[in-house]
Amino acid sequence: MSEALYQVSLAVNARARLGESPLWHPIEQLLYYVDIPSCQVLRFKPATEQLMRWDVGSEVGCLAPLEDGGLLLAQRDGLWRLDTTTGQRTQVATAPYDTATQRFNDGKADPQGRFWAGTVYEPREPALAALYRYTGGQFTSMVGEAVTANGLGWSPDGRTMYWTDTRAHTIWAFDFDGASGVIANRRVFSTFARRGAEQSLEDYGGRPDGAAVDVDGCYWVAMYEGQRLLQLSPRGERLREVVLPVRCPTMPCFGGADLRTLYITSASDKRPAEELASQPWAGCVLQLRVETPGLPANFARLA
């Protein structure tokens, strides 16, 4: 594995508590992302550095562009449509879990337009979080026994799906049937060492959080508390490491007109004061240019 000498710079100079789910809108050519505990959706226009915010009333874990306009939001209490012109929200579906102990986290639309979103089980024990598929007006639990669902993505040919339980320090791959939306043959794609009881953060590689896939099928994953971004091959081999100026990156996405700008959200919430003082970009959105473009975001379909 090589350490890539990419030039990491500041994209959005606004500190989020827990920035997540960056999305480059394929039509609007704008960057959307969320600040989960602040219950906000944010939109950034790189050309003017204009940042817009919507307060949406409850934690929003992820979002996807809708085929017929606006955004689909996965919030603690269910799925909502956000009209980004008027700011109006309309509830699409109620949450399929106990909202007192769970909320939606990482999610995306698959290549056929089905919406997938995983949850976080906040008590941590037992592992009751799950990955849900929403289609035809119904939620279906597809994978269970997790704590923090993350890392959702699909290979360029749409035949492999990736998914992570961050607490398990493991990324899994599944066979994906695009026609039916069925997953099978769960296997370990990549696994990472857990932090030892006496191990310092400087010696800890982090745990896999959000991810994005490029056109060559490489999987780019943010390593939470590891202060790095990894590029994994389609076979799970560690190809590159990008050291970042923030301890807690959360998720990358490919953006820009050529999909070669990698945007990376990050977290500042509940971090030590000395860490935040030494890392002024913590919670901000970072960016770097890469050689290989990423896959464009998929549009969600509600019908």
Distance CA 18, CA 143 (A): 25
Segment 199-202 long-range contacts (CB within 8 Å, at least 24 positions apart): 201/225, 201/227, 201/247
Query: What radius of gyration, in Å, describes the C-alpha atoms of the chain?
Result: 18
By annotation, the residues acting in catalysis are 209
Strand partners, 161: 154, 174
Query: What is the Cα–Cα distance from 53 to 7, expressed in whole angstroms?
Result: 28
Phi, psi of 128 (to 5 degrees): -110, 0
